[in-house]
Each structure stands twice: as C-alpha cells, then as structure tokens.
Amino acid sequence: MLLSVLMLLLVVSGAQTAYYGIVYTYSAGDIQQDALPTLNSFKLSFSSCEELDSWLCEGNCSVLDLYVIDESRGEWCQKEYIVNIPDTVLTILDAAADYLLLSANWTENRNGIVSIATAPLIDLRNRSDINKPNSSPQTTILPLLRVPSNCQRNINLLVSDPNGDNIRCRYAASPECETCTPPSVLSVSPSCILSFSPTNSTDEGPYAVQLVIEDFPRQIITLTNSSGSQEVKTSSDVLSKIPVQFVFGVDPAAPSCTEGLYLPRFLPPTPENGAQISSNVNQILEISISAEATQAVITELLFSGPRNVAKSSSGSGNFTLTWTPSAGDEGLSHTFCFVVQANFSSSVYQSDLRCVLVTILGSPTTTPVTTPVQSTITTFAPSSTTTPAQTTTTTFPPLFTPSLNASTLIPAPRPYYVLALNAKISTTLSLENDAGTITTLIKREMIKYGVPSDIIIELRSNGKVLVTVSP
C-alpha cells in the first residue's frame, strides 16, 4: 500500500514547471494491533507555490495534507506533503526497480539535468535491535543555496538518525537519477559536508544537486518480514536511502568574501550550526536569529523546517522563527535550516547555512527546585588484578532537579538518586559535524542500563557530556 501511495504522489501529471528539489524522509512508529504507522514526508520545491499546486494537485489541494514551509518570491516555494499510513505489512520497498519519475523538469542548470527521478529504499521489516522497523535519516535543505564565485563555502548538512545508525552521503547514481552528472564545482564527503572552492566566472550559474543519504547499522541485526522470513544485515549493508535534491547557485564575484560586509554574518543570539534544542508539546518555541552586513541591505530570512512555522522580523537583520509542537510531534526530532539574505545593487548574497535539531518532549507538568542529594558511589580501581570495590559517601549538587507538587512545593515521597558515570568514548565521528549522532548513541546506551527514556543529552563544546533526567 505504501509503494502505491508513493507512485501516486510522484507520477501525477501536470504542466511543465521549474523543479527546485525534494527531501523525502520516513519514520516508522511502534507496531500497534498488527498495524505499522509510518509517517512519510515529502518536501517539494518549485519555482512558485502556484506551479507546485498545479503540478501536484492539478489545482485542487484541499484533499491533501499539504503545508507551505517557506517561499522566496520570484525564485522558489517549498511545501511539505504528509502521508501517514497505518500499514500492516512488514516489508521492503525498493523503488530502484521502478524508480520514481516526476512529470516536471528541473530549473535550468549548468550540469544539464532535465528529467527528475528518485529511487528511495524503504525497509519496513522489523529490526531485532529496536523491535520495530527502521526509520530513515532525517534532514532538510533550502531549495536554493547561493555563493559568490570567488568565496570559499562549506555546507554542513545536519543529518540525524532516529535509530542511531551510521549515516553516509553521496551523489546519486543510476537509477537514482535520469542524468547523474554531479556539479563540477561542488564536492560531497561521506560525512555530509558539501565543499565549494573559488572558481572562474565561466562556472557561474545554477547547478542541480542530486544527493542520496543512506543509513547503516552499527552492529549485526536481523530483519524480519510479515511471513517470518529473515535477513541478516551487517554494518556494511544499507538499510534505507533517501533523496535530497536542491539547486546550488554560483553567483558573480562579491567585492569581499569577509562575512559581515556583503555576505551576512550571524550574530548572537543565533544558535550555532548543529545546536540541539529541546521543547515541549504545546509550548511555544522561539528561535531568535540575528545577522549583519555592513555594506549590503539585509532583506529576508529563508528557512526549511517542519510545518506551521511562522517567521517574523523585528528590524533589519533580526528575525524569529516561532513554532508550537503538537502532540503528534512528541518524541520526534525536527531539523530547522536557515540563511539570511542581503542585497547590494543588483547582487544577492546569502549567509552560510545554519541548521539546528529540535527534539520534542512531553508536556511539562512539574516545577523544579534545587536541593543537594546524598549519594553512594562505588568506584573500581583499574588494575591487572582484581581489586575490592571502594565505597564512599558524599554530597553533591543535583545532576537533575526533583519534581515538586506545584501547589505545596513538597517533594513527592520517593527517593532521588545521582548517577555518576565516568566513561571514555572512542569514535571516528566528529564532535563538530556528528554531535546529533553521538548524543543519540550515548542516550541509547544509557537507556539500556535502566536510565529513564526521557533523558536529555547535551554535547558541550569542551567535549563533555551533560545528562539531564526528569524523574
């Protein structure tokens, strides 16, 4: 049933329009009464919202769950199409055998990409390690990213995986694309960093970018379908593939590549790229963004993120993204990506791309206070021979704050514990680029040993890990 929905979505006929890309992701929920709820998200981008509606809905979008994400008038419009399917089949859907063609054409580009194709791999067999189906890597991107031809630019895609799998990025290859010529001016690393180096004016213009993001298990797992048939997957086997397509514009050279002059520079309180933010269901989340460009005029903020996000401006260079997560967002993580755009004469300049990860917790119901906690800690001295455990009792400030009754401020009659964990973690992942993956893995391991599932893991700039627990 899921595959038929995908085909219905991506083979709808329509007028010839200017395509600016797609980001497809899927998330599988827990198996409930032999049903497998699967949330499929298609972020589609065209040269205008009207053209997108004409292509996707044949002019009538009232019957679809279609949401406007953002729009840059005269350039592009991004909308999200949501399909929530209570599927009952634990199966693998490999669209590479009959790859999905969109009946529109790419916007004009230098690398000669005309026809549109994607070939997602969707595996909904039950995983032995998490006892539910796989979810794909989660990310987003703006339909158009631009850089002056004389300026260096690295684009760090923020990609997270709900299952803590390894993530790799690459350019699409047949049959994941009709014409698979990658942009000659842009390289992509397996760690999802796109790199652009200064180039000649003859290379200026738009390029079609066709990426594929894959996830790989970190250990040997078994996948089981509805009939009981099983397949073993190792760390070198792909679990899913998602398409990420957008336009990369190489603009005429800027008078200066120094950020803050012509190219906007982010200022506090703008969150850093890769920052992790926690919010609660039905609680208003505000992301404040500030930028400056002393030699140009800042005109707008452009973003991509979940549906129903509002943006506002409180003066030149100061913007706010406002979003209220709903109950359906609880337990999910959403990627927000944004750029600030400025004009000078007839030229348009973009800041670098920043992305943050927002994790949605349950509704807050308690009021925290601070109180010291007495804890008994057992330490083991490292030695080549067995050494008796040494036990000490001491008083620490709390690693978390116990919940109190809001009306009486009397603690609930239950014990509170401080868990002191000293661990050395070795990884080939980057603290700068893979913070989301690292914290997800730490959280999964701690939950295995009985720590509550609502813990919040933060990776600090000094490499230390902060763990917050709400009892």
Domain containing 436 equals 367-468
Q: Are residues 185 and 237 in the same domain?
A: yes
The token duo for 161 is: 């995986």
Model pLDDT for residues 382-428, shown as the tens digit of each residue: 333 333 333 333 332 332 222 222 232 233 333 434 445 556 566 66
Give the pLDDT of residue 353: 98
Q: Are residues 334 and 417 in the same domain?
A: no
What residue type is 11 in one-letter code? V
Q: Are residues 283 and 412 in the same domain?
A: no
Which stretches in the chain have pLDDT values below 50?
1-15, 97-98, 366-419, 471
Give the pLDDT of residue 465: 67
| Cβ–Cβ under 8 Å, residues 211 and 204 | no
d(CA 95, CA 33): 27
φ/ψ bin of 448: left (φ > 0), alpha (ψ from -120 to 50), beta (otherwise): alpha
Give the pLDDT of residue 64: 77
Q: Of 174, 183, 192, 190, which Cα lies nearest the Cα of 118?
A: 174
Model pLDDT for residues 339-353, shown as the tens digit of each residue: 999 999 999 999 999
- Give the count of domains, the chain: 2
Q: Are residues 411 and 446 in the same domain?
A: yes
d(CA 76, CA 247): 10
Q: Are residues 174 and 253 in the same domain?
A: yes
Q: Are residues 240 and 357 in the same domain?
A: yes
d(CA 102, CA 122): 18
DSSP state of 53: H
Q: Last residue of a domain, which of 331, 361, 391? A: 361
Q: Are residues 447 and 304 in the same domain?
A: no
Residue found by looking up tokens 């009659």 in the block: 413
Q: What's the pTM value of the predicted model, to 2 decimals?
A: 0.75
Q: Of 357, 430, 353, 450, which Cα lies nearest the Cα of 166?
A: 430
Q: Are residues 346 and 383 in the same domain?
A: no
Q: Are residues 297 and 354 in the same domain?
A: yes
Calculate the alpha carbon distances from 332 to 163, 243, 469 in Å. Answer: 12, 20, 18
Give the pLDDT of residue 369: 36
| Cβ–Cβ under 8 Å, residues 457 and 439 | yes
Give the pLDDT of residue 449: 58
Q: Are residues 141 and 278 in the same domain?
A: yes
- Residue 232's DSSP bridge partners are 222
Q: Are residues 322 and 373 in the same domain?
A: no
Give the pLDDT of residue 413: 36
Give the pLDDT of residue 364: 63
Q: Last residue of a domain, which of 304, 330, 361? A: 361
The token duo for 427 is: 């990884």
Q: Are residues 187 and 247 in the same domain?
A: yes
Q: Last residue of a domain, which of 316, 333, 361? A: 361
How do beta strands 205-216 and 166-171 pair?
antiparallel
Q: Of 164, 156, 138, which Cα lies nearest the Cα of 24?
A: 138
d(CA 3, CA 93): 7
d(CA 265, CA 294): 10
Give the pLDDT of residue 142: 98
